A = this chain, B = another copy of it.
Amino acid sequence: MASNVNETNDVTLTKPIRCIVKLGGAAITCKNELEKINEENLEIVSSQLRQTMISSENVVSLDWSKRPGTSDISCNVDSFGDQLSFDANKFIVVHGAGSFGHFQASKSGVHKGGMDQPLVKAGFVATRISVTTLNLEIVRALAREGIPSIGMSPFSCGWSTSGRNIASADLPAVAKAIESGFIPVLHGDAVFDDIQGCTILSGDVIIRHLAEHLKPEYVVFLTDVFGVYDRPPSEPYAVLLKEIAVSEDGSWSVIKPTLQDMNKQVEITVAAHDTTGGMVTKISEAAMIAKLGIDVYIVKAATSHSLRVLSGEVRGNVPDDWLGTVIRRSSR
């Protein structure tokens, strides 16, 4: 897929990126209620990201805007002495759409293209309004924790596709934002497609592209389940797969746990309304990242397990009491 990419710009970073984090749509929005943020989860996720990104204990909000229903702006300029540092570890945040955008995209068929149809063109506008609304709220939630977050909407940042594969992306802009000490916040978005006119570019595909070109130390997917299971996690006897190895040819094998019946293909659930693919896309994108030699962790958001993996504690040997899935390149 990457061979199609028409990128003339080399990206150089003075220090490698530590981590690319996916905030899964299901983890930060209420999947069954249209355009509703899971405020509680988002707050915990933002706090965990602050703890792992910023050394300072001091939390000073960088969101100086009015909150809905209030008339005050809180901005304590005195807090920003020279002592205060919010030098952040180099992270990139990418979020999904959850209950934002999917309704608009699936109603209009934006993912299938055809911009000459009024409904598709309308859906393109409506989808972008919905996903940028969510992006702004996530940027604000991170900023309230003192994280210097900067919204970088893929459509605006030059991301486009060709036959639904990535054709262009302004990676130097992402690198420049990181070098300047900001945390870029990207998201699944409606974009132009050279062949079919337009499509939906999923957050998972964005992450794979960023990982391939910016080579982070590790990638974390924060989701609403503990990891990848051998069958839909709602079913009885579903087993959490703790370690998966990906071989050269792209096939996977389960390293942990070692069960007899693990030869059968791992079953996965795809929610019918998920226009960009559910676990199927996630696992196959994760496998492609792992093949690059970058460890991928899939973990439940806003838990002690997500905090441990974000902070890097789980790297190397996975502790027995850690719940989540690691996807790694096969060492054979």
Identify 18 residue pairs between A and B in the complex whose beta-carbon atoms are under 8 Å apart, listed by A's number: A35-B66, A62-B122, A62-B125, A64-B129, A64-B130, A65-B133, A75-B104, A77-B107, A80-B108, A82-B118, A86-B122, A115-B180, A121-B181, A126-B143, A129-B139, A153-B156, A156-B173, A176-B192
Contact residues in B for A297 (Cβ distance below 8 Å): none
In the assembled complex, A221 has its CB within 8 A of some CB on chain B? no
Contact residues in B for A149 (Cβ distance below 8 Å): 125
Given contacts A132-B151, A155-B150, contact A126 B77 (CB under 8 A): no
Given contacts A73-B35, A181-B115, A192-B176, contact A148 B129 (CB under 8 A): no
Chain A residues 63-97 with CB under 8 Å of chain B are 63-66, 68, 71, 73, 75, 77, 80-82, 84-86
Tell whether, in the assembled complex, residue B176 and residue A80 are in contact, meaning their CB atoms are under 8 Å apart: no
Chain A 27-41 interface 0/1 with B at a Cβ cutoff of 8 Å (1 = within): 000000011000000
Contact surface of A with B, Cβ cutoff 8 Å: 34-35, 60, 62-66, 68, 71, 73, 75, 77, 80-82, 84-86, 103-104, 107-108, 115, 117-119, 121-126, 128-130, 132-133, 136, 139-140, 143, 148-153, 155-158, 170, 173, 176, 180-182, 192, 197
Contact residues in B for A173 (Cβ distance below 8 Å): 156, 158
Contact residues in B for A63 (Cβ distance below 8 Å): 125-126, 129
The 6 A-B pairs with the shortest beta carbon distances in the complex, nearest first, are A80-B119, A156-B156, A64-B126, A62-B125, A80-B118, A84-B118
Which chain B residue shows the least CB distance to A84? B118
Given contacts A139-B129, A192-B180, contact A34 B73 (CB under 8 A): yes
Contact residues in B for A197 (Cβ distance below 8 Å): 180
User: Would you give the shortest CB distance from A42 to chain B, in whole angstroms?
Assistant: 15
A153 to B173, CA, bound (A): 13
Contact residues in B for A170 (Cβ distance below 8 Å): 158, 170
Tell whether, in the assembled complex, residue B128 and residue A150 are in contact, meaning their CB atoms are under 8 Å apart: yes
Contact residues in B for A176 (Cβ distance below 8 Å): 192
Which chain B residue shows the least CB distance to A123? B64
Contact residues in B for A75 (Cβ distance below 8 Å): 103-104, 107, 126
Tell whether, in the assembled complex, residue A65 and residue B156 are in contact, meaning their CB atoms are under 8 Å apart: no
